[in-house]
Amino acid sequence: MSSSAWWRSAVVYQIYPRSFADASGDGVGDLVGIRHHLDHLEQLGVDVVWLSPIYRSPMDDNGYDISDYQDIDPLFGTLEDFDELLADVHRRGMKLLMDLVVNHTSDEHPWFVESRSSTDNPKRDWYWWRPARQGGVPGEAGAEPNNWGSFFSGPAWEYDEVTGEYYLHLFSRKQPDLNWENPEVREAVYTMMRWWLDRGVDGFRMDVINLISKDTSLPDGEVRAGEEYGGLGRSVVDGPRVHEFLAEMHREVFGPLDRDLLLVGETPGATVEEARKYTDPRRREIDMVFQFEHVQVDRGASKWDVLPFDMRVLRHVLDRWQQGLADVGWNSLYWDNHDQPRVVSRFGDDGEHRVESAKLLATVLHLQRGTPYIYQGDELGMTNFPFSSIEQFDDLESVNYFHEAVGHGQDPAEVLARLRAMSRDNARTPMQWDDSTHAGFTDATPWLPVNPNHREINAAGQVGVAGSVFEHHRRLTALRHAEPAVVEGDFTLLLPNHEQLFVFTRCHEQTELVVIANFSGQPADLPGVLLDRCAGAELLVGERTEPTMQPWESRVHRRQLPAGD
Ligand code: TEU
C-alpha cells in the first residue's frame, strides 16, 4: 500500500504489449512501439499505465509463463528499451505498473528446471510435486494425485518421467505452480519485486494473486454433473494463508518504501467479504482487487456456457460490490481486459448503436466509486472479431477448449459460436490506430489478424473529433480529476427494478451527481421522480435533457444540495 490513496482519483490504462504497436517490423507489438504512442495516453488523460507481461517467456500463454523475471523478452525489446519507456512515462507525469505473475513460473524457468531434476534437489519443494495416487500407475490417465482440472482444459497435473512424479499446474502444463508454503520461494519473489521497484516501477498488477495459497492436503474436488474433473476452487481460491502472505509481502517489499505505489490484485472467485480483507488499508495487504462476478453474469456453469446478457443481473452485482466496499476497501472498475471479450459486443450493441453504447458503458464505468481501468481499444469502442474458423485463433485456452469439446463429440459450429462470443482473442487483435492495411499497428503481417472494421473504427478518426468514443472517455477522465464527488461520493442505486434504465447517484458533501443510462436499444421515458430530481441540474456529460432517453443514451447531471440535506 502506498503512503497516500492517490490512486482513488487515478485512471489506469492497460496495454497488452503484443497487440499495441509494432516498431520493429516483426508483426508483434513492442516497447519502442509503446513509446511512439504515449501521446495517445496523455491525450486521454490517464494517470497510470499497466503493462501485461513483457518478461522473457516461451510465450505458451503470451508471457504469463515467465522464464526470467529480470529480463525483457526479445520480442518486446531490451531492458534498455524498458528504462527509456519508463523514463518517458514518468516525464509525462504518468506512472507504470508491471504485471506480476508469481502464482506460477514457466516450466523453462531455471527454478523449475532445477526442481524437476531430482527428488532431492534443493528446489524440489519450490513447486507442488506429488506421486501418483494410491493404486494408480504413474503416467496413466486417472493416476493423477487428485482429480483437479486445469483452467486451460485437461488435468491440473502433469506427469514428469525424470522422477516419476507429477507437478501441479492450475493453468497450462507449461505454467507449474510455485509452492508459496516454502519461505525461500517467497523471499525470491520479494527480492525480484524489490529489483523492479528499485528500477523505478510504480507498482504491480498481481496475476491470480488469490490462488497462491493452497489447501496443502490437496483434496479431490467435487465433480459436477457433466464435468470430467473435480473443482479446485475450494482448495485454492482465497486459500488458508493468502492474507498472511500478502501482509508479509507488504511488510517485506512495500512497507520500507515511502513511495506512491499502486498494488492491484487479480482475484478470480473472490467474494465481497474477501475483497474487503484484501483492500482494507488497516490490514496493509493491497490497494484494490479485480473481482470477477460482473464478468460472469452471462455465463452458466463454465465460461463457455454462454447465457443472454441481462442488464438487471449486471446492475445487481455491481451494486453489491459498490455497497460491499463502501466503508472499507476500494473497487477496481473494469469491463474487460486481455482475458475478456470486448465489452461493446458483450454488454452493449456493436452494430447500429456501437458509438452510443460504447459511450454509455464508459459513463457507467468511470462514474462508479473505484479506480477505472481502460483496456486498450475500449476508448475507441473496438469490438469482437468476426472469427469464422478455429485456425484464426491463437489463445491456448480457446484452442484447447475447441479440441476438447469437439473431441467429446460436440458440433464444431456450436463450439466456434461460443468462442466467437467469449474467446480471449477478441480482446487481443491489434490496436486500431488508423484505416491503413494493418491499422497502423505494423508494416508486417500481424501475429493476430486486424479486425476488418478498423477502416471505420480507429484512433486517427476519433482523437480530437467531437462526439467520438475517445473524446467521451477523455471527458470522463478529466471529470474524475476535477470533481471530488466522482472520487469520494457515496453510491446509491435508484430505480433498482427498472428494465432499461441503470440509474445511480454519487453524493459528496453538497454535490450530487445523477447518472442515467438507458441500457437498451429502445427509447425509455424518464419517470417523474427522476425528472424532478434533475430539473435545473447542470448536464455534465451527454447532449440532451429531453424526458425520453434515446437508445443507449447516457447522461450525468450535477446538482447542489441545500445545506443540511
Ligand atoms: O487470468 C486468470 C483468470 O482467472 C482468467 O481470466 C483466465 O485467463 C481464464 O480466462 C479463465 O477462463 C490471469 C491472466 O490474466 C491470464 O491472461 C493468464 O492466462 C492467467 O492468469 C494465467 O497466468
**Of 480, 440, 493, 492, residue with least CA distance to 462:** 440
Q: Ligand 1: which residue has its CA nearest to atom 5?
A: 339
Q: Ligand 1: which residue has its CA nearest to atom 2?
A: 208
DSSP 276-306: HHHH-GGG-S-SEEE--GGGSTTBSSSTTSB
**Of 53, 61, 216, 188, residue with least CA distance to 112:** 188
- Ligand 1 atom index nearest CA of 303: 12
d(CA 363, CA 444): 36
Phi and psi torsions of 294, nearest 5°: -75, -15
Q: Ligand 1: which residue has its CA nearest to atom 10?
A: 339
In sequence order, the 6+-apart residues with CB closer than 8 A to the CB of 565 are 510
Give pLDDT < 50 ranges for the chain.
1-3
- Tally the residues of the chain: 565
157-160 sheet: strands from edge to edge: 129-130, 165-168, 157-160
3-state class (DSSP) for residue 201: coil
Convert the pLDDT of each residue in 228-287 to its tens digit: 999 999 999 999 999 999 999 999 999 999 899 999 999 999 999 999 999 999 999 999
Pocket test of ligand 1: the residue of 106, 339, 400, 423 to mutate, having most ligand atoms within 8 Å of its CB, is 339
Pocket test of ligand 1: the residue of 151, 204, 210, 394 to mutate, having most ligand atoms within 8 Å of its CB, is 151
499 C-alpha to ligand 1 centroid (Å): 32
What is the predicted pLDDT for the residue at 565? 60
Does the pTM surpass 0.95? The reply is: yes
Q: Ligand 1: which residue has its CA nearest to atom 12?
A: 151
Using left for φ > 0, alpha for ψ between -120 and 50, and beta otherwise, residue 346 falls in alpha
- Ligand 1 atom index nearest CA of 424: 10
Q: Is 207 a catalytic residue?
A: yes
In sequence order, the 6+-apart residues with CB closer than 8 A to the CB of 45 are 11, 474, 477, 478, 481
3-state class (DSSP) for residue 372: strand
183 C-alpha to ligand 1 centroid (Å): 25
- Ligand 1 atom index nearest CA of 269: 4
**Of 403, 499, 394, 397, residue with least CA distance to 447:** 394
- Ligand 1 atom index nearest CA of 103: 23
- Ligand 1 atom index nearest CA of 337: 15
Pocket around ligand 1: residues whose beta carbon is below 6 Å from it?
A: 61, 64, 101, 151, 171, 207-208, 266, 268, 303, 338-339, 397, 424
Strands 203-206 and 262-266: parallel
- Ligand 1 atom index nearest CA of 171: 22
CB 483 within 8 A of CB 507: no
- The count of other CB atoms within 10 Å of the CB of residue 548 is 11
CB 57 within 8 A of CB 28: no
What is the predicted pLDDT for the residue at 3? 40
d(CA 385, CA 207): 26
Q: Ligand 1: which residue has its CA nearest to atom 11?
A: 151
Q: What is the mean pLDDT of the chain?
A: 97
CA distances (Å), origin 131, targets 123, 136, 172, 379, 421: 17, 9, 19, 50, 39
Please name the amino acid found at residue 189. V
CB 346 within 8 A of CB 307: no
- The count of other CB atoms within 10 Å of the CB of residue 469 is 24
Pocket test of ligand 1: the residue of 153, 207, 291 to mutate, having most ligand atoms within 8 Å of its CB, is 207
- Ligand 1 atom index nearest CA of 170: 22
Q: Ligand 1: which residue has its CA nearest to atom 14?
A: 207
339 C-alpha to ligand 1 centroid (Å): 6
Which residue blocks in 118-171 are alpha helix, DSSP H?
none
Q: Decide: residue 379, CB within 10 A, 0-12 exposed, 13-18 middle, 19+ buried.
A: buried
104 C-alpha to ligand 1 centroid (Å): 12
In sequence order, the 6+-apart residues with CB closer than 8 A to the CB of 483 are 511, 513, 540, 558
d(CA 108, CA 57): 8
Q: Ligand 1: which residue has its CA nearest to atom 20?
A: 64
Sign of the CA dihedral 154, 160, 164, 166? negative
Chain centroid to CA 365? 14
- Ligand 1 atom index nearest CA of 64: 23
171 C-alpha to ligand 1 centroid (Å): 8
User: Cell triple for residue 147?
Assistant: 482429480
Convert the pLDDT of each residue in 429-459 to its tens digit: 999 999 999 999 999 999 999 999 999 999 9
Please identify which of the residues 207, 248, 397, 483 carries the catalytic annotation: 207
Phi and psi torsions of 42, nearest 5°: -65, -40
Q: Ligand 1: which residue has its CA nearest to atom 4?
A: 268
Q: Cell 479446485 maps to which residue?
A: 232
343 C-alpha to ligand 1 centroid (Å): 17
User: Cell triple for residue 200?
Assistant: 523505478
437 C-alpha to ligand 1 centroid (Å): 31
Q: Ligand 1: which residue has its CA nearest to atom 8?
A: 339
What is the predicted pLDDT for the residue at 562? 87
What is the predicted pLDDT for the residue at 2? 39
92 C-alpha to ligand 1 centroid (Å): 31
What is the predicted pLDDT for the residue at 226? 87
Please name the amino acid found at residue 91. R
Q: Is 83 a catalytic residue?
A: no
266 C-alpha to ligand 1 centroid (Å): 9
368 C-alpha to ligand 1 centroid (Å): 25
d(CA 60, CA 63): 7
Please identify which of the residues 266, 379, 425, 471 carries the catalytic annotation: 266
